[in-house]
């Protein structure tokens, strides 16, 4: 369940920055959009009472996607409150955070390399780190509000 998201998002962020910073008239200005979290796994089924490692993994993946939607919503709210330079920095920060998250979870799950628990450990790690990031984003939104 490991991803290559960090590299892909970095490439997108660089392309957006280059387009935005290109000399006037060289190409159409691209609207900078808030970063979105895209997981690169095939979503497994999550039964009501998971028993197998595949079922447990599927349920963790469903939690990951749910938290990702919350992150995307919070990212959009924060992004709307930033100017151009802040938005570019936010994209870089999100790219760096995703790279950290994926590397950390790959590292944590590596102790189960080759076993059926490895993808479960990876998914549970994503849930943990994503949940912490939601708390951080909510705090950032308070700081970005006019009343600060």
**Domain carrying residue 129:** 5-144
Nearest CA to 32 out of 21, 20, 14 is that of 20
pTM: 0.79
CATH number for the domain that contains residue 80:
1.20.1270.180
- Overall domain count for the chain: 1
- The per-residue pLDDT for range 57-81, each reduced to its tens digit, is 999 999 999 999 999 999 999 999 9
Residues 6+ apart with CB under 8 A from 67: 127, 130, 131, 134
More confident residue, 33 or 14: 33
Q: 53-80 and 118-144 are packed helices; what angle lies between their axes, rounded to 10 degrees?
A: 20
In a 3-state reduction of DSSP, which class is residue 127? helix
Q: What is the mean pLDDT of residues 86-112?
A: 97
């Amino acid at each position: 369940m490991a991803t290559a998201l960090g590299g892909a998002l970095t490439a997108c962020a660089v392309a957006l920055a280059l387009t935005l910073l290109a000399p006037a008239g060289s190409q159409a200005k691209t609207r900078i959009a808030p970063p979105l979290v895209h997981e690169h796994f095939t979503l497994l089924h999550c039964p009501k009472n998971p028993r197998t490692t595949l079922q447990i993994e599927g349920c963790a993946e469903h939690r990951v996607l749910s938290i990702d939607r919350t992150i995307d919503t919070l990212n959009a709210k924060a992004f709307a409150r930033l100017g151009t330079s802040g938005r570019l920095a936010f994209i870089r920060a999100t790219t760096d955070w995703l790279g950290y998250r994926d590397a950390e979870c790959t590292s944590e799950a590596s102790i189960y390399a080759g076993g059926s628990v490895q993808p479960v450990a990876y998914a549970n790690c994503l849930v943990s780190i994503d949940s912490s990031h939601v708390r951080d984003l909510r705090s950032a939104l308070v700081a970005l509000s006019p009343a600060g």
